[in-house]
Amino acid sequence: MTAEAIAMETQPVAVSPAATPSVAATSAPARESFWTAVWEALRGERHDYTQLPLRRAILMLAVPMVLEMFMESLFAVADMFWVSKLGPDAITTVMLTESMLIIVYAFAMGLSIGGAAIVARRIGEKDPHGAARATVQVMVLGVALAAAVAVVGSLFGPQLLVAMGASPVVVATGSRFTQTMLGGSLTVIMLFLINGSFRGAGDATVAMRTLFLANGINIVLGPFLVFGWGPFPEMGVTGAAVATTIGRGVGVLYQLRALMAGRGHLAVRREHLRVDGAVLRTIVRLSGTGIVQVFIATSSWLGLIRIVSSFGSVAVAGYGIAIRVVLFALLPSWGMANAAATLMGQNLGASRPERAEQAVWRASLYNLVFLGVAGLLFVLFAEPIVHAFSSDPAVAAYGVNALRIVSAGFLFYAYGMVVTQAFNGAGDTWTPTLINLCCYWLLEIPLAWVLAKPLALGPNGVFIAILVAFSTMAVVSVVVFRRGRWRRVTV
């Protein structure tokens, strides 16, 4: 999508044929309008997203959300780049630990889905105090979750790696990484939850700044702790975990400061700092399904990497590199999907369902353009991209195949990502949960095993299963969304 195209869509203009200006006369103002809107979005100016022209509303929300997710993807790639220099066992440690962490992420993201949906509705209803109360209840649930994860992870890190199929070498070198990541899970959980509330409120710039700060610290500090540069100790793969925990911890402190300052739509005051049983029950009702939804999607990755790990650390390393590169494109696309979810929730709160639906289709189209270009580049340049992370021919071979196969479905993913998030933004968490169940557990994992084992395609069978499952999910989501059940959901 070009700058001129977005700019011309951000302002509603009634034009008669006689008054139509020339392209030359309008191109400069169009460019100026686009960059003015981008600058406003980055400054975090407050807007009523239920009243702004729709294309402008998408732009104002999507710019900070895409940049937020871009920073997350940049961190993922940078982290893997440094860890890959330590060899396949270090990469395997990270991949196996993150496969366990996705269970934690499922709970955190599920809570975030419920919290963000309620916050968006309350903001759409012009009830900022209700939005603040919902945010506090989500944080209470997050602290309880983090405490449980920290205890289990700190005490049983090595045993968890063994259960994931790690070799004795990986367990010996990676146990402290696993214990640090799980033990410090409070930071990532709160980062998820509070940023979800900011996005639901339309304060996307605050969420963006949070991840820029947290991941910026992580990216800079990571190699110093991994390799022991300067006065820092050489901690190996554990250093990556320490840098991540420190960066995310600073990000959470920034979030809390922003909540108390209340510069955007979301402001938490002293009177909001109490447990509200009614709001808590509503969040649990929505988030319970949301947790199951995300758990189904994320645990499928756990099953996939368990199949890949049966082919050795080299296969896991190649798979891990490819997935990090894929995330480099997909995470910014989640920014567009999150923008659509926010507009869905707020416009339903303002009793404007037609406008909510229009936002979803337009955001999907914009996402299609971006992911279409990214997928083409990954397919064409898979070899030099993967070789930048590993010079091991065996690792690179698996990585190139994974990157090309998974990226081939990007055009489908573009619509699937936006539409599934739109269901969540409407508070309809059941529909994407059922779609995830069918596409991931009933299709993806069995298909991956059959292709990899009985049909002897090896890890390539897993990569093909990912392509098939994600593409199927996109088609099913669009068909179900058109039926409009989400219009009747109350939050």
User: What phi and psi, each to the nearest 5 degrees, are found at residue 392?
Assistant: -70, 120
Distance CA(311)–CA(283), nearest Å, equals: 42
Identify which of 424, 450, 451 has the alpha carbon closest to the alpha carbon of residue 436. 424
User: pLDDT at position 83, please?
Assistant: 87
Amino acid at the residue 353? P
Cα(first)–Cα(last) distance of the chain, in Å? 34
Distance CA(340)–CA(265), nearest Å, equals: 18
User: pLDDT at position 98, please?
Assistant: 80
Q: Is the pLDDT of residue 247 over 60?
A: yes
Across the range 228-253, mean pLDDT stands at 93
Handedness of CA 183, 95, 102, 428 (dihedral sign): positive
456 Cα distance to chain centroid: 33
Q: Is the pLDDT of residue 187 over 70?
A: yes
User: pLDDT at position 57, please?
Assistant: 87
pLDDT band at residue 23 under the 50/70/90 scheme:
very low
Q: Is the pTM of this model over 0.75?
A: no
Whether 201 and 265 have beta carbons less than 8 Å apart is answered as yes
Distance CA(308)–CA(452), nearest Å, equals: 9
User: pLDDT at position 360, please?
Assistant: 95
Q: How confident is the prediction for the chain on average, in pLDDT?
A: 86
Q: Is the pLDDT of residue 67 over 90?
A: no
Q: Is the pLDDT of residue 132 over 90?
A: yes
pLDDT tens-digit series, residues 356-365: 999 999 999 9
What percent of the chain shows pLDDT beyond 90? 47
Across the range 24-32, mean pLDDT stands at 46
Instruction: Quote the tokens at residue 429.
Output: 């968490």
Identify which of 110, 293, 264, 145 has the alpha carbon closest to the alpha carbon of residue 199. 264
Distance CA(387)–CA(392), nearest Å, equals: 8
List of residues 6+ apart from 351 with CB closer than 8 A: none
